[in-house]
Amino acid sequence: MWVAIKEFLLQVLNYLYSVVNDYGVAIILLTVVVRLALAPLQAKQTKSMYQMQKVQPKIKELQKKYKDDKPKLQEETMKFYQENKVNPFGGCLPLILQMPIFIALFQVLAGKKAPSLPVYLAENDLIAKFLFILPDITKSPQAMFKAAGIWEALPYITLAVLFGLSVWLPQQLMPGDRQQKMIGLYMAVMMLYFGWISPAGVLLYWVTSSIIQIGQQQLSLRAYKRHESQGA
C-alpha cells in the first residue's frame, strides 16, 4: 500500500511538472491542493484551539481543586469538556492526515529505488529545480553543503531555517499559554536538524503549507472573535 501511495504521489508530481515545467512549483501546487482539501478540518482545528484557550482558566481551577485526586480530575475534566462541547483532540486531525503525504513525499524525493523522483530523473535525463533558487530539490542542505560549499548551499540552508520557523510561528500566533509556546519553540529548534538532512522539496512543501495554514488560522480567529463580539 505504501508503494502505491508513493507511485500515486510521483504521478501527481510528474503531471504537475508537465504543466509548469518546474518540480518546485509542482510541489507548491500540490501543497495548495492538499491545504484546500483540508480547509474545513483546519477551520475546526482553529476553533478547537480557540475554545481550549478560552476554557483554560476553568481547567486550571479543576487541576488545583483535584490536584490530589487524579482519577477525579480526569473525570471532572472530561465532564467539563462534554458540557461545553470542547474537543481537546480536535486540533490534531489535520496534522495526522498530512503526515502520510509528508512521509511519502520525503521517500519519493530521497529514495534511491523506484518509485522515487531521483530514479525517474536519472531515467529521463531531467533536473528537479525550483525556479532559479534551488538547482535540485531532491538534495538536502547537508548534501549541498558537502558537495558545493556554503554559498551554493545558502538557499538550501535558508529554506531549512524557514522550515524551523514554520514549525514555530503557527503555534505562537494561536492563543495559548507561555508553556505551550515554549514547547513550540523547542520543537522548532529540534526540527532544524530534520530540515538540515531533508530534501529541499520536502521543506518547500512544509513551508508553503505553513504559510497557507497561518492565513487560514488568522482568518478563522478573526471570524470567531467577530462572532463573539456581535453576540455580546
Q: pLDDT class for 26, splitting at 50, 70, 90?
A: very high
The pLDDT tens digits for 29-86 are 999 998 888 787 777 777 777 677 777 777 777 778 777 777 877 877 787 777 777 7
Domain segments of the chain as ranges: 2-231
pTM, to two decimals: 0.80
What pLDDT, on a 0 to 100 scale, did the predictor assign at position 93? Answer: 60
Instruction: With both helix axes pointing from N to C terminus, report the angle between 200-231 and 150-173 in degrees, rounded to the nearest 10.
Output: 20
Phi, psi of 72 (to 5 degrees): -65, -40
The pLDDT tens digits for 54-65 are 777 777 777 787
